[in-house]
Amino acid sequence: MAPTIQLLPEEDPASLSSPALRGIAHGGSGTTRYDNLLSEEGGRFYHAVTRYRIVEVGDGTPLAEQPDFCWVTVRQVMDLLRHGHHLNIKAWSLLTCLHSLS
């Protein structure tokens, strides 16, 4: 599993196929709860920096727009962690960022 939106530096959020995801990526939808640049994997990769954002969306945001896409709760993600190898490194990092908010 990966974050809802995961773009490479050269990718434009306007290229996202979903209008809802484009709105979230551009910051026009939802409330940004976390937004920070972090050194990738503790600085292991020289000058590799990733922007992590956590955006809280409202009830009006469509929950399933694509067959390979689904929303999960934080509790569901935490349950998956017990089984290992289900989250990519970006999802792990976002989960850590999310826990820093409480």
How confident is the model at residue 94, as a pLDDT? 92
For 94, other C-beta atoms within 10 Å of its C-beta total 22
What is the mean predicted confidence (pLDDT) over 14-42?
A: 83
Segment 39-71, tens digit of pLDDT: 876 556 777 888 899 988 877 776 666 677 777
The predicted structure's pLDDT at residue 64: 60
Note the pTM of the prediction, 2 decimals: 0.80
The rounded distance, in Å, linking the Cα atoms of 62 and 20 is 7
Burial of 38 (0-12, 13-18, 19+ CB in 10 A): middle
Domains of the chain: 13-99 (3.90.79.40)
The pLDDT, as a whole number, for residue 76 is: 92
Residue 31: is its pLDDT beyond 80? yes
Average pLDDT, the chain: 84
- What is residue 77's predicted lDDT score, i.e. its pLDDT? 92
- Selection from 63, 50, 61, 72 nearest residue 23 by Cα: 61
pLDDT score at 41: 67
* pLDDT at residue 42, as a whole number: 59
